[in-house]
Amino acid sequence: MSQNERLSTFKWLTVATALILLLVLAGVSIVAAIYVPQVAVYVPILALGLALALQKYTASFVAYFVIIFSRIYDLGDRIRIGNIKGDVRSVGMLHTTLEEVGEDEKLGGELTGRLLHVPNLVILDQPVLNYSKDYSVDYKTISSDYMFDEVRIPLTTNSNPEKAAVLLENILKEEDEVHIKEAEQTFQNGYPKFLQEALKGPRVLIHIEPQHIWVKGKFVTTVRGRNELRNLILLQFLKEVNTAPDIKLA
């Protein structure tokens, strides 16, 4: 579901919630007026207060069906909602439970062991990034754990960046060859853009700073295997650099 579709859904949800609250308020007022006329005047005030207090719960309840029918995410998917990242453990009527995943600077993108309970209504006004889904050629969502990740290697300014780039390119092709073949079988003819880039475009770029030369390499990996593959690439690069005196790490 696109951001515009989520905003449209949120507007309709707001209208639907308001109508439900009005109907509840009207029903309670009518019943009170018939059976307890002396307190009927206070019922609308109490009902309105209760309705406002329960508005977010009602929105989360309706958002549950939006999640289920639009399949924004499913059990087991790795997602990000705003600044929250985790694996979907369960989708309840009011909350989605996530197993928290740390950022790259915290636990290297691994599970932290903590659970996050996110109100369902958050998905209606927050961007949702699903790492476990992509689009095939006919715009149907399919399960996919494949993505691009990156290694960044700093070199001294007197290093040979061209040689380093060729070295890293060869390592990347060797290490992620299996993942690219598996991704090709998954997507068949409906390759997402990142896979097309991996097959046809350059995957190693050079970035120059006053104190360093950065060699950046992109590789195809599964979401949960990214750290392991990154380590293999870096270790292999370090091993090769030991025999290349004109490539020096900064």
- Is the pLDDT score of 7 beyond 50? no
Domain ranges in the chain are: 3-130, 142-241
Integer Cα distance of 110 and 181 in angstroms: 25
Q: Which long-range contacts (CB under 8 A, 24 or more apart) does 3-9 make?
A: 3/127, 6/123, 6/124, 6/125, 6/128, 7/125, 9/66, 9/124
Q: Which CATH number does the domain 142-241 belong to among 3.40.50.1100, 3.30.70.100, 2.30.30.30, 3.40.50.2300?
A: 3.30.70.100
| Contact by Cβ (8 Å): 178, 144 | no
Structure confidence at residue 106 as a pLDDT band (50, 70, 90): very low
Domain 3-130 is found in CATH 2.30.30.60: yes
* pLDDT tens digit sequence for 19-48: 666 666 666 666 656 666 655 555 566 655
* pLDDT tens digit sequence for 157-180: 888 889 988 899 889 888 888 887
Burial label, 204 (beta-carbon count in 10 A; 0-12, 13-18, 19+): buried
- Cβ–Cβ contacts within 10 Å for residue 112, how many? 15
| Contact by Cβ (8 Å): 206, 155 | no
Q: What is the DSSP secondary structure assignment for residue 106, as one 8-state letter? A: S
What are phi and psi for residue 135, nearest 5 degrees? -110, 135
